Each structure stands twice: as C-alpha cells, then as structure tokens.
Structure 1
C-alpha cells in the first residue's frame, strides 16, 4: 500500500522531527540499504517487530527518564551530550544506532558499532555515587553500558506491552535474548538473556540510583523539550504515559506524580494508531531492509523467510 498525498505530507513532517533532516530523509537510510547480506534480525523476529512499532515513541522517553536516575549515565549526558544545544542531534544519533542495528546488514551494524565505540572513547570523567563517593567513569565501562542497554531494552519492551496491539514473537524472553546481540559489538558480552534475568539485574542497580539537582534539570528538559508547538500536546501525553509505565519507586524518585496507566493506556494506544494512520503504511527503512533481504536471498516472493545463521 502506498501513502496518500496527505499521508506523505504528514510522514515527511514526522521524519523531519525525528531525524532533523530538512527533507525528511533518514540520514541512516543508505546504511540500511547497503550490502547484500542479512542483518542481526529478520522481519518476523521480536526486535524487528518491537522497534518498527510506534510504541518506541513512549519507550524512548521512558528510557531517558531511567538513564537520568543513574549518576554515571546522567553525567555522560550532561557533560558530553548535545542534549541542550542540539536536542534533535542527540535524538537522531540514538535513533540511528537503534535503526541500523535493528534493520541493517551485519556489515553496516559493525560500522555503526565502530562509530559508537569511537564516540565512547571521549566520554569519560568523574561522578558522585548515591553513597557520596566520587569515582571515575567511562562510557565504555561494561557496568554503565549494561545499565544503558537495560534502560532502553526494558523501556521499549514495557511500552510495546502497554501501548501496542501487535504481539511480540516469542514474548518478552525472546525479545531480550535476541536484542542482547546488539550490544556485543559494543563490548558487552553479559547482557540479560531473559525477563527474569533482566529484572534481577535491575534490582542490583537499584541502590545506585538517585535524584539530585542535576537529575531534576535533565528530567525537566525531557519533560519540556524544545519541540514545535504543534507537537507539544502529543508529546505531553507520551511523556505522561512513559512516566506512568515506570515502576512506582522510580516515579517516587522522579517526583512528578503517579499518572494512571489504566487511564492513559487506551488514550495513548489510540494516539499511536492515529499517528500511524496519519503518516501512512509506508516505511522507507523497513522497505529498504526487506529489499536488501530479497537481494541476499533471505526472503523470497511472498516474503518466505529463509533463516540464515547469525554470528556476531
């Protein structure tokens, strides 16, 4: 199905907002198109299904809130990020990694991991722990990498479970197990492989989480980003839904109340359905990825998937 002219208009505006590209063409589209080999995931697998869904709009906000609660990842954002002066630049960088890793070939995924690893080499400094101790940190530290990975993974998973209607193939365990592949090129070999392991790991991080003035400053920015005025009502609903989907003790730490997930769930689910209708069924990224899979012989006519071995 093709977009109508009106859907194409809204789709372009939507892509401009997310990518920062004035023409609405994702800068990472060539990386998804490139090569004639398969990637880490296929269209019928959990990471592809979750990350192609608009529930990621809630999940991204939720992940940023979670990351802000850890003083290590918070310091990295405040000291080395463009989040204030170039907010769309930071957003598009995160979207690029997620999109390339999910939909591109293994060759492009490797190049994207190299880009992120090089960037991480410059992200280092000191931060004060929840116990008041000042310690050194590096973005490439496996302990911090694991926290950032889990914050994104758990947020995308919970947002999909709460606000999306498409089932996850294999459920939560399969999403977590497969998405662990994404961080191996970043040097993280011990990511959780099941929902139980993810929850256990989150519990181990809980004593490290804290809120101070710096945390509140970043959370205020997440709640009130410099978006176009026309986008603010929808963003406010997405923010409240992200907050509502967090565990109660995280909400207590953030200090912005306890919005009702029971009330927000149907409203946000319908908003995401409306956005999908408004921007139309076309997806340049998915279409480019599927065309590459056809060239690679991984998908045949009728989208029959011939599953390759994935090694990374």
Structure 2
C-alpha cells in the first residue's frame, strides 16, 4: 500500500495542475536540438533541483512585494487571489523551461513572458508617497524581480540544503543568462554583486511596506491550498519568514516565530516539510528527467545517467 499516494496526488494537482501523468510542456523538454544554457553539473541544475525551489517561491514573492511598482503589477494585472495556483504553475513552467530546456525553448519561454508584460502598466505610490507610472517591461522592475528570484533560490538552497557545491558565485553568474533573456541590463555575476544590488534598492528608498504588502503577506501566510497540504505549508512559510533578513521582515510586518521569549527551530521544521514533499514526489522531477533524455539523445550524457 502506498501511504504517500494521497499526498502525492494533492502535490501534483498543486504544482502541475493534474493528479496523474506529466504535463505536456514538461514532456516537451525532451525535444530540442541542443543542450540548453545549463549543463547537468551546473550550479543552476543543483539549486533548481530537489525541493528547495518550493521555499524559494515563497521567499521570492515576499521579497518582490517590497517594491511597490512590482507589487502593483501583480495586484492589478494578475488573478493571484482568485486562482493563485495558475500563477504558480506559470512561474514553475518558466523557471524549469529556462533551466532544463534547449536554448530555443528557453528563449521562447522568456519571449512569451515579455510579451505578456507589455500590457502590464499603471501607476503606483512610491515609498515617499509620490505617484509614479510603472511598466512590467521597465528594466529597473525587471531587474528587481530577477534579483529577488535569484536571491530566493540561492538562499533557500543554502538554508535548507547547505552551501552550493559549485559555489554561490557560480549560480549567480550562470543564472544571469536568464536575467539577460528577460531584458535585465548587466545582471550581477557574483554573490557580492547580488547583495550590493539588492541593498541599492533599499538605500535608494525604493522598498516599503504598507497596506498592500500586508494583504500579500496575509494571503501567502494562509493561501487556499488543499487542507492536507496547508499544515506543512504553514511550517515552511514560518521557516522562510524567519530566515529573511531583519530589514525585509520589518517591512513585511513579520516577527520571528516564538514560544514565549524563545525562538522556535523553524528552519529544522522547514527541512522536514521539504523532505516529506521529496519523499512523495521523488528526488528527480519530470523536467530534469526529460532534459536528461534529450541530453542522452544528443550524446551529451551517457544512457546510465538517465532515470
């Protein structure tokens, strides 16, 4: 008897939108005529593999929300409240296509997102209270989103797995390719540069909290997930929130999880939650498996390295 089957079914519905089988877009990653932008031994494959991207997704959404221009685009031009899983599925598809697809598929995925961004325009109130126009195609906003994603994936791997074997600089340098494909001008290529660029946004007074941020935090703290998944998600959310920089937690209105005066070991609990997901879904996801089949067909990988 497969005791993890109910959990597996609900996780697949959440992440892939279907309880059985592999989505067609993931199967299509087996196709293509080249090895893609990132090799199997790359830092990108390491960081984007396993279960830590789940934590990274939560962290990225929290950090992105600190820029009122980026937050306005999400709040006013997406259906994240009504259909949050659709937005999650779209983000997963983009990240894994760029990570595991051939170069044509990666470029097509980025072109699709950039076309969708052309209509995402409006105005927002900045940290100083002034009204400003925004466009999702604005290089500064594209950069902030890229920085938040990059930092979230890197830090989540480090927090819940440990140091990146190839080094943090290797991951930042490699994933800069994704930033360039999304129109980011001169993305950072070292961990130090990533930290500096993130700090520049705060030093310039571009980040802030406020009512809209509180609404996003409330939604992310308790999203409309399947009741079987919600307890584990809450554990993971607490672990992610507790490991954010103090400054970000302050702007988000989040406090460390405590029992009276004592902080709780949420990081360990978060690792356990991710381990449970990994036990249900398996160590190698269908996107990576499809990419390995493509690489074996192209002679880049030996057949023994294909699951």
TM-score (normalizing by structure 1):
0.90
Q: Quote the Cα distance in structure 2 between the aligned partners of 1:45 and 1:221.
A: 34
- Which residue of structure 1 lines up, in the alignment, with residue 222 of structure 2? 224
Deviation (angstroms), 1:57 = 1.1
Shift of 1:256: 2.4
Question: 1:132: how far off?
Answer: 1.5
The question of 1:248 aligning with 2:250 is answered: no
**2:78 alignment partner in structure 1:** 81
Other structure's SS at 1:117 match? helix
Aligned residues: 300
Residues 185 and 239 of structure 1: CA distance in aligned 2, closer, same or farther (over 3 Å)? same
Structure 2 residue runs of 5 or longer lacking an equivalent are: none
In 1, distance between residues paired with 2:293 and 2:2? 23
CA shift at 1:303, angstroms? 4.0
1:178 to 153, 156, 174: 174
* Alignment counterpart, residue 135 of structure 1, candidates 116, 132, 135: 132
Q: Secondary structure at the match of 1:299?
A: coil
Distance in 2 of aligned mates of 1:176 and 1:236: 29
Q: How has the CA–CA distance of structure 1 residues 236 and 24 changed in structure 2, closer, same or farther, with 3 Å as cutoff?
A: farther
Q: Give the direction of change, closer, same or farther, for the CA distance of 1:295–1:24 in structure 2 (3 Å limit).
A: closer
- 2:123 aligned counterpart, secondary structure: strand
CA distance in 2: counterparts of 1:19 and 1:272, whole angstroms: 17
Structure 1 160/281 Cα, relative in aligned 2: closer, same or farther at 3 Å?
closer
- 1:250-303 C-alpha deviation (Å, 9 max, x unpaired): 111211212378712222212222321232345221111000011122112444
1:135-174 correspondence to structure 2 within 5 Å: 135-165=132-162, 167-174=163-170
Residue 65 (1) aligns with residue 26 (2)? no
Measured on the aligned residues, the alpha-carbon RMSD in Å equals 2.0
Task: Give the TM-score of the pair, scaled to structure 2.
Answer: 0.92
Q: 1:45 to 1:24 in 2, by over 3 A?
A: same
- Check conservation: 2:239, 2:270, Cα contact below 8 A: yes
Specify the SS of the correspondent of 1:35.
coil
